[in-house]
Structure 1
Amino acid sequence: MSRNGKYLVIFILSVVVLTPLGLMAQGPAWGEWSPEEIKAMLGYVPESIATTKPLIATLIPDYEIGGLGALASTWVSAIIGVGLVFVVMIGIKKSVKRAS
Structure 2
Amino acid sequence: MQHTTAHPDRCAVPWGVCPDHGGTLRSSAGRSSWCTDLACLNTWNYDRLDAACPEKATHTVQAADGRYVVCTGHAIAARSQITDAQVLTGTPA
TM-score, with normalisation over the residues of structure 1? 0.24
Question: Which one has a larger percent strand, Structure 1 or Structure 2?
Answer: 2
